[in-house]
Amino acid sequence: MIFEMRTYLLKPGTVATFEERFGAGLPARAKLSPLAGLWRTEVGTLNQVIHIWPYKDMNERDAIRAKAIETKVWPVKVQEFILEMESKILHPAPFSPNFAPGEHGPLYEFRTYTYNPGGIPRVIEAWTPRIKARHELSPLIFAGSTDLGPLNQWVHVWAYKNMGERERLRAIAMPPGGGGIWPPPRHESVTLHKQEAVFALPAQCSPCR
């Protein structure tokens, strides 16, 4: 399975209208393939929307997107709002929950780490024995790596009730002085080059809420 993560930067003041049009067109589009989720950013780069679509593979993605265009069910008329567009193809880690529909948030944290080439398999090894305990504190929604788009990126998504809960649970996972269950140890061959995080809220039409 693959996941396409599409991030759009919108003109200020247009996010609500974008969500309305997206939601209105979604039932027809979802007959071709399901939406994993749609979010708008609240902290980090503002006026962004993130929508994520699962597919069996790239062949299925291409066929469904072609069918959507042919039948004119997608894309909806939102082009006038868009300033920038980015698409990433993500492969989920073996332990990833893969955006299971349901009430998880409503606060979602999207974290993107960029590693040295060849580092991500070691990251998966380090996360595997620890992720169950960390997931029990707050749900992991997805974890995976980029295959198309910016490479060597590790994208992981977490859900919280609010920022206060996030701070409380992270303090349990990562107590001062170390010795907590998180973060996993980093292998000597792995170099973390960059870390980014945005906090986002789900749209009304999002299966992940």
Q: Is residue 41 part of a domain?
A: yes
Q: Is residue 207 part of a domain?
A: no
Q: Are 175 and 196 in contact (CB under 8 A)?
A: no
Q: Is residue 209 part of a domain?
A: no
pLDDT given at position 179: 84
pTM value is 0.96
Q: Closest by alpha carbon to 78, among 29, 36, 120?
A: 29
Mind listing the pLDDT tens digit for each residue in 25-76? 999 999 999 999 999 999 999 999 999 999 999 999 999 999 999 999 999 9
pLDDT given at position 176: 85
Other beta carbons within 10 angstroms of residue 71's beta carbon come to 12
Q: Is residue 44 part of a domain?
A: yes
Q: Is residue 18 part of a domain?
A: yes
**Number of domains the chain contains:** 1
> Taking residues 116-133, what's their average pLDDT?
97
Q: Is residue 145 part of a domain?
A: yes
Given a cut of 90, whether residue 177 has pLDDT beyond it is no
Given a cut of 80, whether residue 15 has pLDDT beyond it is yes
Tokens read off for 74: 């997608």
Q: Closest by alpha carbon to 87, among 16, 30, 22, 3?
A: 3
Percent of the chain with pLDDT over 90: 98
Percent of the chain with pLDDT over 70: 100
E strand or H helix that includes residue 196: strand 192-202
CATH code of the domain containing 91: 3.30.70.100
Given a cut of 80, whether residue 79 has pLDDT beyond it is yes
User: Containing domain of residue 73, as a range?
Assistant: 2-202
pLDDT given at position 39: 98
